Chain A
Amino acid sequence: MTSLAIVDHPKKAAAFVADIDRAHWHDQSLWYVRIKRDKQAASLPEWELLRETASQIKANVVANLADYLEQFANEATKLGAVVHWARDAAEHNAIVLNILQSRGAQKIVKSKSMLTEECHLNPYLERHGIEVIDTDLGERIVQLAKEPPSHIVLPCIHYKKEEIGELFHEHLGTDKGAKDPKYLAEAARQHLREKFCGADAGITGVNFAIAETGGFVVCTNEGNADLGVSLPKLHIACLGIEKLLPRAADLGVFLRLLARSATGQPITTYSSHFHGPLPGGELHIVLVDNGRTDIAANPDFRRSLNCIRCGACMNTCPIYRRSGGHSYEATVPGPIGSILAPARDSAKYATLPHACSLCGSCSDVCPVKIDIHQQLLTWRKEIAARKQLKWSKRLGMQLTGWVFQHPWLYSTLGKMARWTLPWMPRFMLYHGLNPWGKQRELPSAPPQSFRELYAQRQKQQANGGSVTPQPSPHSPPSVYSASSKVN
């Protein structure tokens, strides 16, 4: 799990990339999902309109969060649910534990919820002697491996089927060496069936909560949320306060965007609507802030609360695909996580907004139009302003900026570099202190800069002469000769 140490994304990423075949396999698995998403998005002529509509609905929710929360709580209560308010993770965990303990619940089945991951609910409940079984297959796999999910929609995307076979052999007693997904899924199904039948309570996350009705929706592909809250009589739903939608009519916009963006499905297999408890049962809804109102109050990062946790930004991110979810050491990894994590602790997560080439693919893929890469850039400024940027980077940029402020100095240094580079022995250019040169050559140095050639050209033109740049002694002469041009 996360440690107290500063997260060093470059180091973790380099370790992931070192196993190049695995990194390629990981990249291709996620790219396959991205392609599926593209096909689904292209199948809807109104895709861009949906994105825009969703973005506006969410902006309205975040701007009027308190009102919608109150409306939701009132309506949910009318439906017979018990609504709890948690300011932070600790309060959330204590509320959940209290509900469970007061009803003598010992065995819990839990469907996927990134909020409970964020609050570290599992280890907390386990410390209090309660068994928590994650019922989403991917979640169960990482739970057996004692790892956090590496992706918010595909929690065990970093696992190969052979490795899952190994894990199941160890924990569920499947045949050694078994890797047939059908066989392994069946074994997991049997194992989970036992847990469902013996559970005292079911915990779920919430995908969308409707202020107007007091109902909420949980989306799963495996039906595990339904089973988990239909067999036991006690259902606890953990809800991040940004998950609200104003009206039931808004739901269609989001259900159409969510699965298409997440996995390239037209819709999630199960979109289960909950309106109050089961007959004779209990429904508790825990509304959790845990830093969200602070984000909502910040105009720079407010839009990150639009996120519907589809994971599309992870699937499209060329860095996430090649560095793996665990390299971020954050509950939500990847582009959107690199906005959310520093909001929690900018010193600890200072490298995450830099784990990005600012390519902008995340912003263009986002179904709720969060300007993700712009916010990552804003975080970089924040981190520098808080003096949390690595000293070498800060100093380097100060120095470079200073040089650029003096054109003569810049030109002179440029000239010196261009003159010396071609004569430098390789060992002086390519060594441990030059990360550029580890796998790449430096650009070859031309004898004259553009500004020098331009000045020369101006002079020649003034004298009525032809315009021919000088050949270089250090790089192929034809680069600068007139003969290399067609016209």
Chain B
Amino acid sequence: MPRVGLFIPCYIDQFYPRVGLATLELLERQGLSVDFPPAQTCCGQPMANTGCTESAAPLAKKFVEIFSPYDYVVGPSGSCVAMVRHHYKDYFQGDPAYEAIKKKTFELCEFFVDVLGITSLPGNFPYQVGLHSSCHGQRELRLSSSSEVMSLPYNKARQLLAGMTGISFTQLERPDECCGFGGTFAVSEEAVSCMMGNDRLHDHLSHGTEVLTAGDMSCLMHLQGLLRRQKKPMHVMHVAEILAGYQPV
């Protein structure tokens, strides 16, 4: 039986444990042996994206060390997985241990569709779902087609969700514009970040989204922060929670 190393991003670990549990349950239901190595902390993305290579390097080394023994590494975050797959190269330069990690690290929906060959999951979710296409998952991991590129449309998360009964999807004005989170951007460019977030929410609210979902909790944390401050009626759930059969609370 393949052994899966569960990669739970730091902020999910600390603030959204339910997303971690949903991920774990989803993987276990597929009969996989799943293990959460507790030595993991953060993949180093916040430091790397700020340009602070020196602060990110030891975290990248640690990540490769911790997850090397597994057959697969799976995480519920397109952004963190993109960090490992596309941005760790600066710290390794052809190191075979990293090359191996790069090939076996997957975002959750991607792992289901591309590795396990599962295209839909059973369940009932009687809500109109607004799918936020998180940028790194979309444009770095290509988990869904982007509106700028002229190709056949596809979306791995939507594909999995579409198999559930009762579910419907919001048709958005701007299907894949950034929510404005962008890591430290959310703080250093607070004004633009919040305007971007509010515009995304407006697109969802005005087109009937009941449950806002995404493959990245970081985008959702930003959007949820705006929703809560404005007391707007919309549920926010990570795609793993919906797929695992959780209901909005």
Interface positions of A (Cβ within 8 A of B): 9-10, 13-14, 17-18, 20, 23-24, 27, 31, 38, 41-42, 44, 47-48, 316, 318-319, 322-323, 353-361, 363-365, 377, 379-385, 389, 393-394, 397-398, 400-402, 404-405, 407, 410, 414, 417-418, 435-436, 438-446, 448-455, 469, 476, 478-480, 484-487
Q: How many A-B pairs fall under 8 Å by CB?
A: 248
The listed residue (A361, A450, A454, A487) touching B123 by CB distance below 8 A is A487
Is the beta-carbon distance between A381 and B192 smaller than 8 angstroms?
no
Is the beta-carbon distance between B190 and A323 smaller than 8 angstroms?
no
Known: A397-B52, A401-B52, A485-B244. A450 touches B17 (CB 8 A): yes
Give the chain A neighbours of B99 by CB distance below 8 A.
none
Is the beta-carbon distance between B221 and A443 smaller than 8 angstroms?
yes
Known: A361-B139, A439-B229. A397 touches B50 (CB 8 A): yes
- Asked if B148 is an interface residue, CB under 8 A from chain A, the answer is yes
A479 to B245: give the CA distance in the assembly, Å. Answer: 13
Give the chain B neighbours of A442 by CB distance below 8 A.
225
The listed residue (B41, B123, B174, B177) touching A407 by CB distance below 8 A is B41
Give the chain A neighbours of B193 by CB distance below 8 A.
357
Interface string of B1-45 (1 = CB under 8 A from A): 000000010111111111111001000000000001011111010
Is the beta-carbon distance between A450 and B46 smaller than 8 angstroms?
no
Selecting from B102-110, B112-120, B178-186, the interface stretch reads: B178-186
Give the chain B neighbours of A38 by CB distance below 8 A.
147-148
Is the beta-carbon distance between A446 and B195 smaller than 8 angstroms?
no
Further 6 A-B residue pairs, CB within 8 A, beyond A360-B138, A449-B17: A48-B150, A361-B176, A405-B41, A443-B221, A484-B247, A486-B246
Q: Considering the complex, which residues of chain B in the window 135-177 have a beta carbon less than 8 Å from any beta carbon of chain A?
A: 135-136, 138-140, 146-151, 174, 176-177
Is the beta-carbon distance between A410 and B10 smaller than 8 angstroms?
yes
Is the beta-carbon distance between A393 and B189 smaller than 8 angstroms?
no
Q: Which of B24, B44, B50, B174 has the most CB of A within 10 A?
A: B50
Is the beta-carbon distance between B222 and A27 smaller than 8 angstroms?
no
Is the beta-carbon distance between A356 and B185 smaller than 8 angstroms?
yes
A401 to B48: give the CA distance in the assembly, Å. Answer: 10
Give the chain B neighbours of A316 by CB distance below 8 A.
148
Is the beta-carbon distance between A486 and B124 smaller than 8 angstroms?
yes
Closest to A351 in B: B188
Interface positions of B (Cβ within 8 A of A): 8, 10-21, 24, 36, 38-42, 44, 46-47, 49-56, 58-59, 62, 87, 90, 123-124, 135-136, 138-140, 146-151, 174, 176-178, 180-197, 199, 221-222, 224-226, 228-229, 244-247, 249
Is the beta-carbon distance between B188 and A393 smaller than 8 angstroms?
yes
17 A-B interface contacts by CB (under 8 A): A13-B191, A322-B192, A354-B188, A357-B135, A361-B135, A361-B177, A380-B49, A384-B52, A410-B41, A439-B226, A443-B11, A444-B15, A453-B20, A453-B21, A454-B20, A469-B17, A478-B249
Is the beta-carbon distance between B55 and A17 smaller than 8 angstroms?
no
Q: Which of A10, A323, A440, A476 has the most CB of B within 10 A?
A: A440
A356 to B187: give the CA distance in the assembly, Å. Answer: 12
* Closest chain A CB from B47 CB (angstroms): 5
* Closest chain B CB from A424 CB (angstroms): 15
Known: A322-B196, A393-B188, A485-B246. A48 touches B47 (CB 8 A): no
Closest to A446 in B: B17
Give the chain B neighbours of A454 by CB distance below 8 A.
20, 24, 36, 38
* Closest chain A CB from B129 CB (angstroms): 15
* Closest chain A CB from B150 CB (angstroms): 4
